[in-house]
Amino acid sequence: MKSILIITLLSCFCAVYEAKIFSKCKLAHKLKTKGMDGYHGYSLADWVCMAQYESNFNTRAFNGKNANGSSDYGLFQLNSKWWCKNSHHSSANACNIMCSKFLDDNINDDIVCAKRVVRDPKGMSAWMAWVKHCKGKDLSKYLASCKL
């Protein structure tokens, strides 16, 4: 009985740390409800494509290996040098948020910050994955099977 209780508790603990991985259509629906389709001239397909290449739709994606010592967090890989604050380096913290908030399954704050990023002069070019894989390309496949 004791071992069953311990196994149950451990499985609950592990489940808390599992990432939410969106399907492209679920993400597209969520982004559409948050006003991302056409936001600052970028289509819903731009956002979905960027998220695929930045995090593979994983809300807990983390990259701590940037050449400048910064890290990237969450679904949109928001950078700690510019957009959020972590405990390791100084930051402009333009989104006024702790980076760890981008690693949970609630992407509302991620979306707010992503909107802040595209309002800067670089727009979506702030995301190198978008420049390399999405910019100027036919992105229709990203929403083709989604019922939007």
User: Sign (positive/negative) of CA torsion 67, 73, 76, 82?
Assistant: negative
Q: How far is CA 145 from CA 25, 83, 107, in A?
A: 8, 33, 22
Query: What one-character DSSP code corresponds to residue 86?
Result: -
Q: Which residue in 72, 104, 110, 120 is the catalytic one? A: 72
Q: Which residue in 54, 109, 110, 120 is the catalytic one? A: 54
Can 18 be counted among the known catalytic residues? no
Instruction: Tell me the C-alpha distance between 119 and 41, whole Å.
Output: 10
Instruction: Tell me the C-alpha distance between 34 and 38, whole Å.
Output: 11
Instruction: Tell me the C-alpha distance between 2 and 96, whole Å.
Output: 45
Would you please indicate which residues are annotated as catalytic (active-site) residues?
Answer: 54, 72
